[in-house]
A = this chain, B = another copy of it.
Amino acid sequence: MKRPARLAFAILGAAVLTPVLSHAQLFTLTKDQMIEYTAQNPFERFPDGRPKVPDELIERARGMSSEEVLAILPGKGFRNQYEDGFRILHPDKKLVGRAFTLQFMPLRPDLDGVVNAKAQAAGLGRMYNQTAIDMLQPGDVLVVDLFGQAEGGTIVGDNLFYYIMKATKGAGLVVDGAIRDLEGISGMDMPAYFRRAHPSAISNVIISGINIPVRIGKATVMPGDLVFGDSEGVYFIPPALVQQVVDNADVIHIHDEWTRMKFDEGKYKSREIYGTPTDPALKKEYDEYLKKRLEEIRKKNPK
């Protein structure tokens, strides 16, 4: 779909992209700030300081479910990392990747004017959704706060969706807002979570932040979070907890295997088996099964 009205939306903060204009940023984090606010990150970082959860953990995370993230996060005090109520493009396909965050606000001409004057002075053109989209890396999930807007809150249509798919190697998109060209997008193999589909182009908004903390519904998202989506909703997992979440998911999978094997025997009431076997002999059987299976899995996926 051709975007018919290129100037229909306003843009803010071209300065964000160039160090010489960093004081004008409305808003981003400097590399130092990024490192400081994500200090618990145990992994490598991108050149701009954004945490880089390793590809290997991203792959392992594809086998998880939302429940397995919830098994860890609230216990660590992270109670605001989940959001649902999205329309899901491919409910059967997991969304996993590193958060690249983008925040919009309703257009205000005075802010818009200041930012564009600065951008022009710096030899940049206008800044708009494509400015941020062109910064995406393989494995990035674009996470956008468009405050639930339907008309005019359409972050991309099928052409830019296609571009994101190419640029991120199919990682994905989460938008508290809308997409357009639903038909065209439906045939593309990238996960996407959105509130609405609407035929309008993005308009009447400005970019107020790139790679800053953003709010998606009731969740606070940091750049570099591991974004995990399944058919229920989306979790934003702090890098420091990713290893633990993924390892614990293995335990849960084995627990489920064993539980159903026992249910299949047809000899037990559910509460004799699940969550923890009440009979000590059964408990021992389970513990041994768990140990053996974990070893098998760890051999396949050495840390």
Chain A residues near B (Cβ < 8 Å): 1-4, 6, 23-24, 26-27, 30, 32-33, 36-40, 65-71, 76-82, 84, 105-111, 114, 125, 130-131, 133-134, 147, 157-160, 162-163, 166-167, 180-184, 186, 197-200, 204, 206, 208, 212-213, 215, 218-220, 222, 230-233, 238, 240, 251-252, 255-256, 259-260, 263-264, 266, 269-271, 274-276
Contact = CB atoms under 8 A, between A and B. Distances in A.
A143 to B, nearest CB: 14
Nearest to A3: B275
B30 A69 contact: no
B199 A70 contact: yes
- Copies of this protein, total: 6
A12 B24 CA distance: 22
A209 B233 CA distance: 28
Given A180-B67, A199-B66, A199-B232, A263 B79 contact: no
A105 B213 contact: yes
Contacts of A159: 256, 259-260, 263, 274
A232 B182 contact: yes
B238 A110 contact: yes
